[in-house]
Chains A and B, each alone.
Chain A
Amino acid sequence: MALTILLSCFLVLYWLVKYNNYHMTTTTKSVKGMLYKAATGQPVAGAMVMIAEGGEHQDIASQTDAQGTFFLPEIQVPGTYTLLINYSDESRKITVSISKDSILRIPL
């Protein structure tokens, strides 16, 4: 009897959580980052930064400003993503683990 009750409670809880009766919002946020030259520490401007692999993401690409700053579009965090950076006709991939409070600093 107790086992039946426990199992029933588990099933009810499973349905509630999985099918959003009790809404469990997935945390998404835009993530800030900075590109800099590994040798000099100078910011890299005009580079394209985009997500190549990871969770579902908006297919928009960010361009670094004069301070090398870029943003990733709203993504699920925490998560692991592979970024593709295109700069001066060269492309580079880098895998990063992003937490809720991450600010990426990426050397080129």
Chain B
Amino acid sequence: MPSASALHYNNQKNLVMKPKTFSETLRQPKNGNDKDPMVATASAPGMIESLPGQSLTRTETETETEIERVEGFQVTKPGEADKEVYNRLETEAEPEFSASLEEAGTEVTEEEGETAFTRDAFFASYPELYEKSISEVIIGTDDRVRISPTTAFPWRAVCSLRITAQDNSRWIGTGWLVSPRTVITAGHCVYMHAQGGWPKSIEVIPGLNDSARPFGSYIGTSFRSVVGWVNDKKREYDYGCIILPRDARPGDKTGVFGFAVKDNPYLMSAYLNLSGYPGDKGGNQQWFMARKAKSLAPRVIYYEIDTMGGQSGSPVWIKVNNARYAVGIHTNGLVSGNSATRIVQPVFNNIQAWKNQGM
């Protein structure tokens, strides 16, 4: 099925599929999944985001064209890919969009004595020491470090997910709290195209640590994602959330992540922190790693942070003083570079709306 962008392009000039000029093809990667992602010029955050291939210089056609009606064929119109899709509503709160680029998290006041050494806190101040320390501590090529205990922030705001799909298959993933009841995760954790769509339920376990569930566990059945994922299954729109029931408010105890839109120069120079629940460690332990980004695309961040199955949905965050801002949602693994759905303005808006729904 042709992509929405290809169809849009096709409809510009009398439905004729013209070959692009050589220079145009150089600027147009395939659906954001190109093997050599470009460092794109950062768009102004306040602007409506545009994907590679959607020419910023296209002219308005004088006559409207129509798309052939084909049963079962859905076309996502430009601008609708980030439109929210949900299975059920748990709240009547109106979404409020702001023009800001940062949403601060909250860290619940620590009880006396922070027992967990928050690795990112130290190395955020002395990043030049991080690489050296990892090479001294970790033996072999696996550079992840175990987080234990998980009762300190931000580790306790990272949640293990136990997903029961519509076809009763079971999966594990990771999510992170942005409000008392809102857990952000990968779109493919909350909408599984090959497993019947929306899951039956997802168990959310903040700060899971082997058999310990220091903040309890909660069952979520209300999910959110976007048209670009649910309808089009596009990697750039692979994000979503779980809205927990009204009486399930783990974020009140754990604190919550902030989230932010950051431009290319910032992201390329910042250390990215990633923590989640990998299946190769049993799925019950939280493992962390940090690196700088390898490359960027308009809606994807690529990095060489070690991850394994089960870490889908993990937060990719920056630490600024004592504040944590997620800048991506980890989704994909690949030997040449794992990747996250990047938080750009439309993504930020949706996360903010979902956050409000879970207050």
Q: Cβ of A62 and Cβ of B312 under 8 Å apart?
A: no
Q: Cβ of A52 and Cβ of B308 under 8 Å apart?
A: yes
Complex CA distance for A23 and B171, rounded to whole angstroms: 32
Q: A21 with B312: in contact, given A60-B172, A74-B194, A86-B282 (CB under 8 Å)?
A: no
B319-334 CB mask vs A (1 if < 8 Å, else 0) is: 0000000000011111
Complex contacts, A63 vs chain B, CB 8 Å: 170-172, 283
Partner of A69, one of B31, B169, B283, B309: B169
Q: A20 with B31: in contact, given A30-B194, A60-B189 (CB under 8 Å)?
A: yes
Q: Cβ of B2 and Cβ of A84 under 8 Å apart?
A: no
Complex contacts, A62 vs chain B, CB 8 Å: 169-171, 309
Chain A interface size, as a band, is 35 or more
A102 within 8 A of B: no
Q: Which chain B residues in 264-294 approach chain A with CB under 8 Å?
A: 278-283
Q: Cβ of A59 and Cβ of B282 under 8 Å apart?
A: no
Q: Cβ of A60 and Cβ of B25 under 8 Å apart?
A: no
Chain B interface size, as a band, is 35 or more
Q: Cβ of B6 and Cβ of A61 under 8 Å apart?
A: no
B310 within 8 A of A: yes
A70-82 CB mask vs B (1 if < 8 Å, else 0) is: 1101100000000
| Overall SS of chain B's interface | loop
Closest B residue to A89 by beta carbon equals: B282
Partner of A21, one of B20, B31, B281: B20
Q: Cβ of B19 and Cβ of A50 under 8 Å apart?
A: no
Q: Cβ of A19 and Cβ of B28 under 8 Å apart?
A: yes
Q: Cβ of A19 and Cβ of B331 under 8 Å apart?
A: no
A35 within 8 A of B: no
A98 within 8 A of B: no
Closest B residue to A48 by beta carbon equals: B279
Partner of A56, one of B19, B22, B332: B332
Q: With contacts A20-B3, A23-B3, A86-B280 known, what are 14 further pairs, Cβ within 8 A? A: A19-B25, A49-B309, A52-B308, A55-B334, A59-B307, A59-B332, A60-B163, A60-B186, A60-B189, A61-B283, A62-B169, A62-B309, A74-B188, A84-B279
B: residues with CB less than 8 A from A are 1-3, 6, 17-20, 22, 25, 28, 30-31, 33, 163, 168-173, 186, 188-189, 193-195, 233, 238, 278-283, 307-312, 330-335, 338
A: residues with CB less than 8 A from B are 12, 15-16, 18-23, 25, 29-30, 48-53, 55-63, 65, 69-71, 73-74, 84, 86, 89, 91
Identify the 6 closest CB pairs spanning chains A and B, nearest first.
Answer: A50-B309, A61-B279, A30-B194, A61-B309, A48-B279, A23-B2
